[in-house]
Structure 1
Amino acid sequence: MRAHLPFLPVVALSLLSAPAAAAAAELTIDGNLTLTSRYMASGQQQTTGAAFQPSIELGYGGAYAGLWASNLSSSLAGHSAEFDISLGYRTQFGPLAVDLGYVRYFYTAPWDASSGQLVLDLSGAPAEGTELGLNIAYDPDARESDISASIGQQIGERFAVAAGYGRVENSHSYWSVGGSYALSDAANVDLTWHDTTVDKGIAVLSLSYDFSLR
């Protein structure tokens, strides 16, 4: 994910303004723990070894606020850790799922903050077991976009394959192809090949676990 603090107070205020019973009924707290052999962002390596990536998201209706983190390799990224804070809204228009949000990237050692990105994520299922996706991320300060498209296909109950292609404006193109296997309803293992026009390709193995606190 890249996948995803100033927005948490906004969500908190919206929750406090609703009746306590309604808030208790609609508030969701979901999370994910991922261990991956490499942290990849737009097809490029951000670590020279494994990365641990926890995340948590608060949802209320279609609105959400999330926090995602990962270790980094200073030799590649110039920092030792990354924290992403996101705020957005998800909704459905017939078969089309729409996710519109903003992500702010923070880095430590040394401490720094990027300008962040506006993100529009569209997805739909034209056929059973098939999912198409389009992700548009735009940095309003740098006036630079990162646009990617993906396709996924479920094969049986536990196995799925996926492929994607993207381009960072004024930089490089990147693509990926891989497969995933559901170990359980919550745990998943994924093996994906990542490649770009500027770096050598690399296979990445990941193990993830989803959980819900509410």
Structure 2
Amino acid sequence: MNDVLTRAEDRLRTALGEPDARAAVTFLGTERIEVLRFPDPGRGLVRYATLGMSAAPMTDPTATVADPGRGPRAELLLTLRAGRAATDGVLRPLAVLAASPQVEGVVVAPGGSLDLGEPLWPGAPFTSVLVDDPDGPVPELPLPAPRDPVRFLPLLPMTPNEAAWKRVHGAAALRDRWREHGTDLTDPTRAGTPLSG
């Protein structure tokens, strides 16, 4: 395993405990992406974390020369309430999102959104996610210079209406709406937040 991924997995285990399941997905022309599931029964939560996205830095597709050492590195973290929906179906979709920097040349960063075009898991009302600020349960992982640290970016599921509203009004405005309505962003069965008015 790439030394960055070894360190990233150690950081996940230190912050979240032992995973109780993991799945690996390989896409044509990309490195393997794993998704680990971490139960948090004390809080009634389950966390899904990618492992593999941080093996290489993300590069701006408009850059004329890609630096193999420098550039942002990240893994994705999705936290949901346990037992309310068949959320384990999110494993492959999460791997798809984590592969997007390799496949599409996307730089995943806070405030951005990632769209699957299909439910995050079977029956889910969400087809995309908002990338949140990395101030969640997993602190960033420093790497030896000149490499950038690995950030563990929380994902917030969005309904199609919320995603469309976010494209017009921005991520901060959508977060404000969620806050105003007390939206539980970990609830896998939640309805869309009212956005008019």
* TM band (smaller chain): 0.3 to 0.5
| Structure with bigger gyration radius | 1
Greater share of strand: 1
Structure ranking higher on relative contact order (CA contacts 8 Å, 6+ apart): 2
Greater share of helix: 2
